[in-house]
Each structure stands twice: as structure tokens, then as C-alpha cells.
Amino acid sequence: MKLKSLVKVFSCLLLLCACSTSNENISSSSLTSSSLSSSSITSDSSTFDSSSTNQSSSTSLNSTTSTTSSSPSIQESSSSSSSEVIKYQVTVVNGTIQGYGSETSIRVPVNTSLTIVANKPDENKEFLNWTLENNQIFSILATYTFNVITDMQITANYQDKVVTTGYKISFSAGFANDVTNNVEAINNVTDTFTFPQGYTRSSDIAFLGWALTPLDHENLYQPGTSYDKTITSDLLFYAVWDEDWTEWL
């Protein structure tokens, strides 16, 4: 009887040991599976981060490359814009251009200040004036400074020496190329003079009056009025027109 009881107890112990071993294997297997899943997730996360970093790096590189490749175009455009300087041809006949040696025809940027000097007159001759290609008087000074605003050919003119008892008053239409009448100079002025009628133009641009500078709209002298200042030298009056002119003086 006692032996049977011992056998039952021993059998129960064996059963308990078997169950314990089985549970440990199951827990170990679950733990291993969990570790593998965690490792897989970590690996996937690492792969994603690496891919994202590479993509960001690639985008940054492409952006830099794009910016770099566009820079030459911007620089080229800027360089092209800054190099487009307007220039005009100035030719002087019977004179020289100060600072340019023997060159009498030069190309210079707009608004360049030039000084022209008439050649020394021949014997028994004297300097008369500078005229433009339209035969209008440009200046009555043998040495004259002006700003370049267009292509110009300027010619020094001379006349026989004359004995005068006064001063010469000349008139000019300036750069106007469509004047339809001529205005004669007034010679031997000793005191005062009366302003002549102005020029007319085929373009019907209105004549506003006479002035000592081409754009002086404030100190105008009208035809038929007398000059009210003391005359101490020859004078040149320009026609002032009802249009925008660029100052050359």
C-alpha cells in the first residue's frame, strides 16, 4: 500500500517537471520571436532614416546644383546689361578735340563733355562760327565745350577780316532740321537791338522765343522786343521750342 502511494507521488512530480519545462520553452520561444520583431522594426526604421537622409541630401545637392548652374546666366545677363553703353560719333571739321591728339572723329559715350578748338585762321581771315550738318550755328566761340547727345559733325567756319564798330548778334535753330526760313545776324550793334521774328518749322512745333541757352524757358525774348542788357561781346541766341530737348551746353 505504501509502495503504491510512493509511485503516485513520484508520477505527479514527473508530470509537474514536464509542465514546467514546456512553459519555459514557450516563454523562451516568445521572447526570441519578440526580439526578432524588435530587431526587424529597428532595422526597418534605420533603413527608412537612411533613405530619408539620402533623399534629403540628394534634394539639397540638386538644389545647390540648380542654383550653381543658374548663376552664370544671371552673371551673364548682368554683364550684358552693364556693357550696353550708348555711344555717339563726333566729327570735327577745321578743328581739333582737346585731349584726343590729331583725332578729329571719335566715338564716345553719351553725355561725354568735349571741348573743340577751331584751327588758326589763314592770313586775313577770322573765325566766324561752328555749324552743324543742318547749317545751324552751334557756337560762335572758337573754343567751345559741350555734352555729346547725338551723332554730330561740327564745322568751323571763317570769313574775311572785317572792321566793325560794334558787335554781332547771331541766331540759331539748334538741332531742328525742318526749319523753313532763315534768320539773319545783326551786325555792328553798339547799344541795343530788336529781336527778329523766329523760325518756323514744317512739323508745326511752336517757337516760344529767343534765349542765350537752348532750354531756358524762363528768360525768353520775344520778337519785336529790345535787348535790355549791356552788350560787351558778340552774342548767339537760340530758338526755344515747345518740345523736350536734351541740353548740350
pLDDT, tens digit (0-9, with 9 covering 90-100), for 155-212: 999 999 988 889 999 999 988 889 999 999 999 999 999 999 999 999 989 999 999 9
Confidence of residue 128 (pLDDT cuts 50, 70, 90): very high
This prediction has a pTM of: 0.60
Per CATH, which fold does 85-161 belong to? Immunoglobulin-like (2.60.40)
Contact 121, 158 (CB under 8 A): yes
Q: Which three cell numbers stand for residue 150?
A: 547725338
For residue 142, is pLDDT > 50? yes
- Per-chain mean pLDDT for the chain: 76
- The side-by-side arrangement of strands in the sheet containing 87-93 is 105-109, 87-93, 152-160, 125-131, 137-139
Contact 153, 93 (CB under 8 A): yes
Long-range residue pairs from 111-116, CB within 8 A, at least 24 positions apart, any chain: 111/147, 111/148, 111/149, 112/147, 112/148, 113/145, 113/146, 113/147, 113/148, 114/90, 114/145, 114/146, 114/147, 114/148, 115/143, 115/144, 115/145, 116/92, 116/143, 116/144, 116/145, 116/146, 116/154, 116/156
Contact 231, 167 (CB under 8 A): yes
More confident residue, 41 or 195: 195
Boundaries of every domain in the chain: 85-161, 163-249
